[in-house]
Amino acid sequence: MADENAVSGKGMSAGAQVIAAVVTVGGLFGALWGLQGASGTTRGANEPATCSPARSAPPASQYVSGAQICAALNRADLATLLGTPGEHAVTAWGSDGAIEHADGTRTATPAAEVELKTHHVKLTSSYDRFPVAQLAGLLGASAQQQTVLGHQAVLSSDRTMALTLNLAGGKGSAAPGVMARSLLVARDGKDGGGSFELVVWRQDGLLPDDAALLRLAEQVLPTVPGWSAA
C-alpha cells in the first residue's frame, strides 16, 4: 500500500499478507497493520469503504477506540481536504493497539488508516506522558514547529516501510517505501503529555502537501473523542 513495488493487499494470495507501516518519532508511534486486531472494509471502485465495529477487545473507557478514530478520519470530504476531490476511501480500518515497554507497562495507541487512490492517511492517538515540545527535539533539525488550533505541534518527514509476510512459509521481507509527512499534535492546549499523530503519504511517491495535512488536522482532530480545545 505504501510502496508502489509492494504487492497490493487486495490482490494477495491465500498464503500471504501485505502490511504497510509508517515509522515516526524513532518508531515510537509506528504500527504494523494486519488482519488480526484491525477492523474495516474494502469496497468496489464506485463504493466508498466504511469503518466496521472493532473485532478486537474494546479499550479502557478513558481511551478512544480505533473504531472511533476511523469514524472521525473516514469523513465524506476527506479527499477534498487532501486536494483530490472526487475520490473516496478504498479501505478504512481501525485498531486498538498498545506499545509495551521494558518495565512491563503499556501505552495505548489506538489508530485508524484510510486509503484512497492517491493518498494513504493514518491517525494515531497516544496516551504517553511526553509533551510534543519535548518530542520535537527528537525529530531532527528539519522538523518544523507548528500550532494547530492552539495546540503545540510539529511537522516532520519519515520514510514508510513496506513489509511482506508469507504466512504459509513463515518468512517475510522489508523494503523502503515512499516518504510521508507527519504532524504530531498535543492532546491539550497545555501540552501536558500525550498526542495525536496524523500521517499522510502519497501512492505515487511524491511528498504530500503540508497545507493539506494542516487543513485535515484542523477538521478531523476536533471530532475525535478525547480532543481538548485550547
Report the predicted TM-score, pTM, of the whole model to 2 decimal places: 0.78
Extract the C-alpha cell encoding 19: 502490511
Dihedral Cα 42, 5, 94, 169, nearest 10 deg: 90
Condensed to tens digits (0 to 9), the pLDDT of residues 62-117 reads 789 999 999 999 999 999 999 999 999 999 999 988 888 788 788 888 999 999 99
56: in domain: yes
Domain for residue 4, yes or no? no
The domain tally of the chain equals 1
In a domain, 194, yes or no: yes
Task: Report residue 153 as a C-alpha cell.
Answer: 505541534
DSSP 170: T
Residue 200's domain spans which residues?
Answer: 9-223
Distance separating alpha carbons of residues 92 and 85, to the nearest angstrom: 18
| Tens digits of residue pLDDT in 105-164 | 888 889 999 999 999 999 999 998 899 998 888 887 889 999 999 999 999 998 887 766
The helix (H) or strand (E) run that includes residue 66 is: helix 66-73
Q: Is the model more confident about 230 or about 59?
A: 230
Q: What is the mean pLDDT of residues 45-49?
A: 76
Q: Is residue 17 part of a domain?
A: yes
pLDDT averaged over every residue in the chain: 78
